[in-house]
Amino acid sequence: MQPVLKKGCALFAGPRRGRHRALARINQESHTCMNVAYTTANEMNHRFVRSNGIKMHIAEDGEGPLVVLCHGYPEVWYSWRHQLRALAEAGYHVVAPDQRGYGQTDRPEAVEDYNILQLCGDIIGLVDALGETEAVIVGHDWGAPVAWVCALLRPDIFRAVVLLSVPYRQRSWAGIRPTELMKQMAGDKQFYQLYFQEPGKAEHELEADVRKTMLMGLYSGSGDAPPDKRWRFLFDKSETFLDTAAVSETLPAWLTEADLDFYAEEFKRTGFRGGLNWYRNIDTNWKLTPFLSGAKIRQPALFLAGEFDAVITMYRQAFDSLEETMPGLRKKVLLSGAGHWIQQERPREVNDLLIEFLRSL
């Protein structure tokens, strides 16, 4: 039987299956796991594994075929809190890591350590560290590019892929850097991904009041925010990034004070630099992957997003082309009334669709 951790967390040494699990307390220097009010967070099994030269923290539950859940920005394993138990009860070994630069996983100093090949190497190494040879990979937001590049690079490992919120965009043969295309698109305005490029600039703004930053991001990106309060990816150069977001006087129904506290405490401790470094490798990722130009994802696939997700508006052409670029696509769904954080905003619908897809494999 799996040990259940009611409070705090423990470090499990060695592979999950077939070996004795040594339990040890994690002191503050080793990033003590918070006691959070959300019941499933307390009950998750937590441990560390070594992957691709870093120490990676994972939350996991269940037995059966492996499903890896890759979070986005600015999130941690906790954004999958509603999926971990549901997928475990459906018969799967579900694992949600803090990805490189986030949460309790290592945060390398060098910006170049966050390129897409390193990020995919982390997940490929995670599968191996778990003693598995194959997995279904699920990615939300920035986790979606990690998922689709993993699927393209190692179809022998990743037998199926699920993308949430960010549709697959084929790498183009065009000889112009992505940031140059962004500058052309932005014109005399500022594009948020360009705003993130200068080390220290966005960190200074976002870390001034971490709880407010997280609340603004979660609310403004959700389907609960009215149209005039939702994210603006383009903004005047006299503004800051947080000027594009809004604060709600009351929390949306899907977000509790305990949820917000968890996110705030994690990012107070780590800062936002690790996640922002993913954006600072956009051009590097393009330079590293010319061999993926025009590649199609042929594994069985599922795509889910919210009806009001601003990312779908930005990448509508990619969304409309998914049947062509992902020949194995079984279904694509826009959830009515939902925004960007669909696995948190609409957990029941997302869980039902994930389980339906997994059982079809």
Choose the catalytic residue: 57, 82, 93, 340.
340
> Residue 290 and residue 180: Cα distance in Å, rounded?
17
In this structure, what token pair is assigned to residue 109? 């100093």
Nearest-angstrom CA–CA distance, 158 and 153 = 9
CB 180 within 8 A of CB 173: no
Q: Which residue in the block uniquely carries the two structure tokens 């977000």?
A: 255
Distance CA 45, CA 9 (A): 7
- Sign of the four-CA dihedral 44, 212, 108, 275: positive
Q: Which two tokens stand for residue 325?
A: 């670029």
- What tokens were used for 246? 């809004």
Q: How far apart are CA 157 and CA 113, in angstroms?
A: 23
CA atoms within 13 A on the CB side of 42: 8
Amino acid letter, 40: T
DSSP conformational letter for 176: S
Reported as type and span, the H/E element at residue 6 is none
Contacts of 176 (CB under 8 A, 6+ apart): none
Distance of alpha carbon 266 from alpha carbon 229, whole angstroms: 26
Contact predicate 165/309, CB 8 Å: yes
Count of beta carbons in the 10 Å neighbourhood of residue 31: 20
In the sheet that holds 329-335, the strands lie side by side as 45-51, 54-61, 93-97, 66-70, 135-140, 158-164, 301-306, 329-335
Q: Catalytic: 93?
A: no
Is 156 a residue of the active site?
no
Residue in 352, 360, 357 with CA at minimum distance from that of residue 82: 352
Candidate list 61, 98, 122, 141, residue with the active-site label: 141
Catalytic residue IDs: 141, 340
